[in-house]
Structure 1
Amino acid sequence: MLDEAPFFPHVAEGPGNVCAYWIYAEDKVRLRIAHWQHEGIPKGTVFLFQGRTENIEKYGRTAEALHAAGYAAFAIDWRGQGLSDRLTDDRMTGHVVQFSDYQKDVEAMIKAAESLDLPKPWYLLGHSLGACVGLRAIIEGLPVSACVFTAPLWGINLSTFQRLAAWPVSWAAQFVGKGHLYAPGTRGESYVLHTAFDDNRLTHDPDMYQYYINISESLVDQQIGGPSMGWLFQALKETRSLSKLPSPDIPCITFCGAEDSIVAIPAVRDRMARWPRGSFELVENARHDVLHEIPHIRDELLDKIINLFSNDKAINLQPPSQARTVAQNG
């Protein structure tokens, strides 16, 4: 039996049929997971791999859309964020010792999914950091039939000067035992609570941005701020390592907002050009959180995601070299 964990459905605004549990990774880090059950005969279960700074509740509306399409959903708070164990004395620091530790979280999540007998087939929807963790997990055998990535962190959007500085500075900080300190230019505060809507890099949708604010104000203890020097160094290492590996041979769609200023879109293009059954779509007039964009963009992308999951056995994706652009209408 899994121990029940707290969850806040009134904040998440997702399906009411949700249960949260505590699980433990092999290194004894306590993690929170949540399962949105489907009351009918589900078409499968979608694993939601969240981005850096996010918590499970933020995926309530996405779980609602998946639920309406016939799917159960299963999400996790990565170590160091949400209600999972924090790794530094400062709870606002986004920190991880090494990126391979996230795979320990994935392994614990799979064991829990098996224990809960979650309906198969399983699918993956990974955003930003979750897409980085998810790509590694699939390469190492995560048993999903198809996957979707949004704004995948397969490269960090840095200028040439920033990149040249980031490697030695972050390495040195970790080497001398200062890896827990904030990366330059970041601090220990919630992004959405300290950034006006007009200045935000996440979405054009004011309703969604207010949704973020409501979650952050309601669940203060689940928020984190900027990444640590150690997290930055490990992210640089992991994205470089992943770039050298072949793509998995499962159906995949990847979406990036044309206005995304957080991830390196060229790295995403390169990956998807090497994905045998993969398709890349650049979404015009969209920022980092493409699934939380204005309604018609969000609805169009969700339709494509559901179509992929519904037809993963016989999907006919266009060649990666012909990656198309999703235009905003109106």
Structure 2
Amino acid sequence: MIPNAPLHEDVADAPPDGRAVWLFAEDGARIRAAHWLPEGPAKGTVFLFPGRTEYIEKYGQVIGDLVAAGHAVLVVDWRGQGLSTRLLDNPLSGHVEVFHDYQKDVAALVDYAQSLDLPRPWRLLAHSMGGTIALRALLNGMDVQSVALSAPMWGITIPGAVRPLLHAAAIVAKRVGHGHRQSPGIKNAAYPEPRAFEDNRLTHDREQYRRMTDQTRTHHGLALGPPSLSWLAEALDECHDLAKAASPEIPCLAMIGTDESIVKNDEIRRRMATWPGGELLEIDGARHECLMETPERRRKAIGACLAHFERY
């Protein structure tokens, strides 16, 4: 029997009757997942892959939109964040030993979906780091009919002069056993920080930002801070490797904000220009969180996802 896991419904703003469970990846990492079913016949199941620092509850409103449109939804907390296994003694440090370890989490999630016989067709919605993991999963043969991506992390914005030095330092630190250390110059604090709305790079919507900070302030176990040097080295290497791979022949919608400053929009534009059946939507003025922006921008992003899933 699969054990139940906590689901913080008091802060999630998600539909009722969601069920959270503990899954175990092949290497023993404990992974939290949760799923919801619509009231009537389902149009299929949407796998939801969050970004770095994120957790299931953050996507409560997005889950609500998908369920209201008739989709079942299955969401994951990646290893090292949310309520899944934390990998370092410092719980605020975002860490992974090998980026491909996230594919073990994907495998556990797919096994769980199969055990529940979740409605088909299966589709995929991913944000930021979730878009990196999603592209690798698709290249590995994950069986989905279509995919929608919000600000996929196919390149990380680092100032040009600093980038090669930081990448080299992260690789060396990992090789000499210091990969667990945090990236230099970043304070050990949970993201997003309360009282930092004016300087945030996530959203223009003050209420959405308050919702994010209230969630981690109410349930400290959801919070995550800066990445480790190991995570940084692995993420940059994975982005480099993926850039050399051809896009899969699966209908794909990618959404980016014109006010993006965390991931590289040019890398997204480059890939989507040659993705078979690919479509790129640029949302004017949106920051990194297209799905959690001001109401008009958010409606545009959610509406595009739902329309894409109706077509494919």
Distance 1:201 1:169 in 2: 25
Please state whether the residue corresponding to 2:279 is helix, strand or coil.
Answer: strand
Q: CA deviation at 1:10?
A: 2.0
Q: CA deviation at 1:187?
A: 2.8
Distance 1:194 1:60 in 2: 20
Distance 2:305 2:230 in 1: 34
1:24-173 aligned at under 5 Å gives the runs 24-173=24-173
Q: CA deviation at 1:273?
A: 1.1
Distance 2:88 2:251 in 1: 38
Question: For each residue in 1:184-220, what CA deviation from the matched residue of structure 2 results, as whole angstroms up to 9, or x when unmatched?
Answer: 2223211223451111100001110111011111111
Q: CA deviation at 1:39?
A: 2.0
Percent identical residues: 44
TM-score (norm 1): 0.93
Look up the equivalent residue of 1:289 and give its one-letter code.
E
Aligned partners of 1:23 and 1:30 also within 8 Å: yes
Distance 1:182 1:88 in 2: 11
Please state whether the residue corresponding to 2:179 is helix, strand or coil.
Answer: coil
Match status 1:207 vs 2:213: no
Distance 1:94 1:195 in 2: 22
Distance 1:95 1:261 in 2: 22
Structure 1 residue ranges, 4+ long, deviating more than 4 angstroms after superposition: none
Look up the equivalent residue of 1:10 and give its one-letter code.
D
Distance 1:113 1:72 in 2: 11
Distance 1:32 1:276 in 2: 33
Aligned partners of 2:252 and 2:279 also within 8 Å: yes
Match of 1:241 in 2: 241
Aligned partners of 1:51 and 1:129 also within 8 Å: yes
Distance 2:75 2:195 in 1: 26
Aligned partners of 2:173 and 2:229 also within 8 Å: yes
Aligned partners of 2:194 and 2:213 also within 8 Å: no
Please state whether the residue corresponding to 1:161 is helix, strand or coil.
Answer: coil
Please state whether the residue corresponding to 2:161 is helix, strand or coil.
Answer: helix
Match of 1:274 in 2: 274
Aligned partners of 1:20 and 1:33 also within 8 Å: yes
Look up the equivalent residue of 1:277 and give its one-letter code.
G
Distance 1:151 1:271 in 2: 13
Please state whether the residue corresponding to 2:106 is helix, strand or coil.
Answer: helix
Question: For each residue in 1:280-312, what CA deviation from the matched residue of structure 2 results, as whole angstroms up to 9, or x when unmatched?
Answer: 122111100011000111111211111111111
Look up the equivalent residue of 2:148 and give its one-letter code.
V
Match of 1:291 in 2: 291
Look up the equivalent residue of 2:288 and give its one-letter code.
H
Q: CA deviation at 1:116?
A: 1.4
Distance 1:148 1:101 in 2: 22
Aligned partners of 1:203 and 1:287 also within 8 Å: yes
**Once superposed, what is the RMSD of the aligned Cα atoms?**
0.9
Structure 2 gap segments, 5+ residues each: none
Question: For each residue in 1:117-161, what CA deviation from the matched residue of structure 2 results, as whole angstroms up to 9, or x when unmatched?
Answer: 111111100000000000000111111100011111000011211
Match status 1:305 vs 2:305: yes
Match status 1:255 vs 2:255: yes
Please identify, of 238-247 and 166-175, the stretch whose mean Cα deviation from structure 2 is larger. Answer: 166-175
Please state whether the residue corresponding to 1:159 is helix, strand or coil.
Answer: coil
Distance 2:195 2:149 in 1: 26
Match of 1:315 in 2: none
Structure 1 gap segments, 5+ residues each: 313-330
Distance 2:187 2:23 in 1: 29
Look up the equivalent residue of 2:77 and give its one-letter code.
D
Distance 1:82 1:136 in 2: 21
Match of 2:188 in 1: 188
Aligned partners of 2:38 and 2:68 also within 8 Å: no
